Amino acid sequence: MRAAVVHAFGEPLVIETVPDPSPPADGVVVAVRATGVCRSDWHGWMGHDPAISLPHVPGHELAGVVAAAGPQVRAFAVGDRVTVPFCLGCGRCEPCRAGQTQVCDEDFQPGFTAWGSFAELVALDWADVNLVALPEAVGFDAAAGLGCRFATAYRAVVQVGRLQPGEWLAVHGCGGVGLSAVMIAAAAGARVVAIDVSADALAAARAAGAELTARAGADVRELTSGGAHVSLDAIGSEAACAASVAGLRKRGRHVQVGLLPEPPRVPMDLVIARELELLGSHGMAARTYPELLALVEAATLRPGDLITREIGLDETPAALAAMGEGGPAGVTVIRP
Ligand SMILES: [Zn+2]
Ligand SMILES: [Zn+2]
């Protein structure tokens, strides 16, 4: 198969032909039809993730067709259209037995703990626990974003943040996950203020449904007459995390969504003074995908609208490098 391979952290990926994977006994090989480029891939490529060993193939936001299945797989077969969460659960550990596969003790993450989807084929463990069947109405490009950014945003806003209609959501950082959060919150009848350093990103946020947009450093408590009820750090930086916490209304909920390579300083004085909640959100369990897919199928949520660029595998090295500056506005999808 053709794949985009990392031979040295931070050095350009090499497009080359490598051996085809074969399915694990309880897993599958998926023929990748679309895979998103995400800032997490950039972190991995830069060497920020100790789980990665070289040579390595990044890519974790995938959709495709089952090309081969191991003998123990019961629920899926060759030809099925599928996607997966970026964090696959083993189905056996304590979090998995409680249905929380997104925080599995053994977590399998394509593109991190194993070769990922910047390739024509990707092998995935534990298929019955983690594969999500795609409805016909949901295309591969749109589905590629569900595994990471869109599902992550959905869980952060709806399941973890518990955002209610009429409440204010502040989104700090309008990359893929931030724009997804804007769209999900607006569709849920909440009011959204989007914050970013880039005018292009803020324009994309308005198009996704943000009522207000502001440059980083703006006073969210002033803009929202008292503060956001729920606020996300959707980029993963000390400044965005601190601004998110500081922009909350009393008893508001901060949800940390962006990955943080270094532990940030958090204004805990505000947390006690305003009785804030600090919450983490890490992907979404496969079993909760149907509620999200139903909204996509009904076109209430349109993850495909966030895609601004479709590229081939050959353009992957440059697209990944561009994520270092936050990437272009909107979402880039690779079709291997
Ligand atoms: Zn991602
Ligand atoms: Zn597990």
- The DSSP-derived string for 141-169 is HHHHTIIIIIHHHHIIIIIIS---TT-EE
What percentage of the chain has pLDDT greater than the value 90? 87
SS3 call for 256 = strand
Q: What average pLDDT score do residues 91-109 get?
A: 95
Half-sphere exposure at residue 262, Cβ-oriented, CA atoms within 13 angstroms:
6
Integer angstrom CA distances of residue 261 from 42, 47, 48, 202, 301:
12, 10, 7, 25, 31
- Ion ligand 2, residues whose Cβ is below 5 A away: 89-90, 93, 96, 104
Integer angstrom CA distances of residue 78 from 30, 82, 116, 128, 132:
9, 11, 19, 13, 14
250 pLDDT more than 90: yes
Burial 263-297 (b: 16+ CB within 10 A, else e): ebebeeebeeebebeebebbbbbbbbbeebbebbe
pLDDT tens digits for 164-212? 999 999 999 998 899 999 999 999 999 999 999 999 999 999 999 999 9
Ligand 2 centroid distance, CA of 155 (Å): 19
Q: Encoding tokens for residue 20? A: 């085809």
Q: Is pTM, for the whole model, over 0.75?
A: yes
Ligand 1 centroid distance, CA of 38 (Å): 4
Q: What angle do CA 284, 290, 292 make, to 5 degrees?
A: 65
- The DSSP symbol for 274 reads T
Q: How far apart are CA 106 and CA 100, in angstroms?
A: 12
The closest ligand to the CA of 332 turns out to be 1
- Ion ligand 1, residues whose Cβ is below 5 A away: 38, 40, 61, 148
305 pLDDT more than 90: no
Ligand 2 centroid distance, CA of 218 (Å): 41
Q: Residue 277's pLDDT is what?
A: 98
Integer angstrom CA distances of residue 61 from 155, 219, 313:
16, 34, 14
Strands 28-36 and 62-69: what pairing? antiparallel
Ligand 2 centroid distance, CA of 105 (Å): 5
Q: Residue 149's pLDDT is what?
A: 86
* Confidence at 326, pLDDT banded by 50, 70, 90: low
Residue with tokens 């950014």: 149
